[in-house]
Chain A
């Protein structure tokens, strides 16, 4: 039977709506494929958490995150975490005092990747018109364990490699199922041909435009752990950073930046935030004034993108309390040259420095209402094949066709 004209009209309108809705969904994401990564966790089974990320390749900065939203439960709204996150500078001073390179300042591009970089068999997908970014879905090991109860975690990782002449910098952004973000830079490839045996430092400076629940209303606190060894008690303090400034990391104090939004609270009424925590093997300090602090907090200014200009940015300190803030983090890789890096053969450098990493963790604090990825979904154990005291002699499909007593022989 042919559908009635009005039924056809209705069908057309419904189809149009679906198309419009699909387009609108893309628009809501504010970026389109392949620059949109929308990842739900767990990767198999009903959704528990979700990241929605926009990225771009940018000359110099490499892989830049241009938006990141986290959804802490299927019924919760997407909360903006990043307006923009990027490696702003990589400072490379050599021990003799010269050269002193600013490796982001040339506009180096990301290197095209292939299936050896990003194998599909390992959960990899190459993204971008220039195939310059690898998206990997990874099992991240234990999320938590409690006796026999256990939950493994997952993460989506985006990475690209900056072609900084003789060096490659792997710029990696990891978004975990528990809301954690990891930013890392890995230095690899060939030692500087002019002085391949000279030790040096690679100091990335990340610019993290963190906008929790909107632009304004963010505040940054300096978190410290104080525990005098003359006593047995300890305290943890949080001091508001009220004006633009640099702050130093102290390993004895577990220094971290606590970023909060004045309006963002969890259902328990606690202020939700993220803690910026270094992952490092040391603290690089050099003559240059922008290396004298590990953390910086500035007020958002679209013209302030250069990590090596931070002292200028904070020279007339603006208010950063309850404001639109940008957090900066400076890390360091100490490259003590070793024979494993390579050698000079007939005037040509031959060899590769293996990847060394430095980075940070952004960890949710009171963002969830309770433990995420919990309780663990338990699968009931399969029913026994045979009654107690019997064993199976012959299977039929997934059930036992012939059970016999444990001490009897099979027919």
Chain B
């Protein structure tokens, strides 16, 4: 009988050996991780294509705002961080198995600068905590933010025609943060205008049409256009 068997029963040897071999083989068949190797605590619980968490969005905004190239691009004039959005950036290295791509966690941060009607598109690598690219884009490609609607309504609320339109209900109107699920009965909503002709006062300006929703529905027959760049308000009756 082999010496080894004097220490360990035969059945136990084979079970242990088979178990170890099986586990090694099984582990070798497991697919590799898809979150980038530099994954930090932010991305350990989430998959590469899951939406950004609030913490990731905040981090992306902070990293972009602090970046030297971004600061240079947005300048010292009036500007605004408008949006932080999930971005699935394609990895430089392509895996043969499309499901095993090493996709990192990225965010696209959009800034708008009012002088020159320009947008700044910033790609942030959340795992490396670094800005990947800074690209100047057309101003019209930068969406409006809820804060801009608030600013537009604050301007409009000082306009005599708007005050007459809303009357005593003026102070009851609130800018709805639709993204937060807010839908107050008396709410202000906005629609983006991109002017086509140079003679239009809104040409290459940030302009918003304001809509006023009451508990009965939308107030009809009036247009209120706010030019955030020029800080002006145009209110007109459209149906007589």
Contacts and interface: CB of A to CB of B under 8 A. Distances in A.
A103 to B, nearest CB: 7
A344 interface: yes
B223 to A, nearest CB: 4
Nearest to A130: B181
Given A196-B220, A214-B98, A107 B143 contact: yes
B217 A190 contact: yes
Nearest to B30: A24
Contacts of A303: 108, 121, 123, 133, 135, 137
A237 interface: no
Interface string A352-392: 00000000000000000000000000000000000000000
Nearest to B84: A59
Interface string A135-162: 0000000000000000000000000000
Given A102-B194, A193-B218, A306 B141 contact: yes
Interface string A174-205: 00000000000000001001111100000000
A303 B123 CA distance: 8
A302 B47 CA distance: 20
Contacts of A21: 26, 30
Contacts of B216: 346, 348, 350
Interface in B50-76: 50-51
A171 interface: no
A118 interface: no
Contacts of A27: 31, 33-35, 47
Contacts of B121: 303
Given A99-B193, A100-B194, A302-B89, A105 B140 contact: yes
Given A100-B193, A100-B194, A17 B23 contact: yes
B19 A6 contact: yes
Interface in B173-227: 178-179, 181, 189-196, 209, 211-212, 214, 216-223
A4 B179 CA distance: 58
B51 A306 contact: no
Given A29-B47, A31-B47, A6 B27 contact: no
A331 interface: no
A242 interface: no
Contacts of A195: 223, 238-239
A308 interface: yes
Nearest to B132: A302
A214 B217 contact: no
B180 to A, nearest CB: 8
B16 A100 contact: no
Interface residues of A, number: 78
A242 to B, nearest CB: 22
B230 interface: no
Contacts of A350: 216-217
Nearest to A190: B218
Interface in B5-42: 12, 15-16, 19, 22-23, 26-27, 30-31, 33-35
Interface in A54-73: 54, 56-60, 66-67, 69
Contacts of B87: 302
A112 B103 CA distance: 30
B164 interface: no
B191 A193 contact: no
A50 interface: no
Given A107-B83, A166-B218, A303-B123, A7 B15 contact: yes
B98 A69 contact: yes
A221 interface: no
Interface in A1-35: 4, 6-7, 9-10, 13-14, 17, 20-21, 24-32, 35
A106 B19 contact: no
Contact of B192 (A26, A29, A102): A102
Nearest to A196: B220
Contact of A193 (B16, B98, B193, B220): B220
Contacts of B195: 100
B85 A59 contact: yes
A403 B175 CA distance: 78
B15 A349 contact: no
B145 interface: yes
B214 to A, nearest CB: 7
A172 interface: no
A108 B178 contact: yes
B154 interface: no
A80 interface: yes
Contacts of A197: 239
A324 B92 CA distance: 12
B87 to A, nearest CB: 6
Nearest to B87: A302
Contacts of B130: none
B138 interface: yes
Contacts of A106: 143-144, 149, 190-192
14 contacts: A4-B12, A17-B27, A27-B35, A28-B99, A28-B100, A29-B99, A35-B49, A56-B50, A102-B192, A105-B192, A105-B194, A107-B146, A303-B137, A308-B141
The 9 lowest CB-CB distance pairs between A and B, nearest first, are: A306-B141, A193-B218, A31-B49, A165-B189, A194-B223, A105-B192, A303-B135, A10-B19, A109-B179
Given A56-B50, A67-B49, A214-B94, 16 more contacts: A6-B16, A6-B19, A28-B99, A30-B99, A30-B103, A60-B83, A66-B49, A99-B223, A101-B193, A102-B192, A106-B144, A165-B190, A215-B94, A344-B221, A347-B219, A348-B217
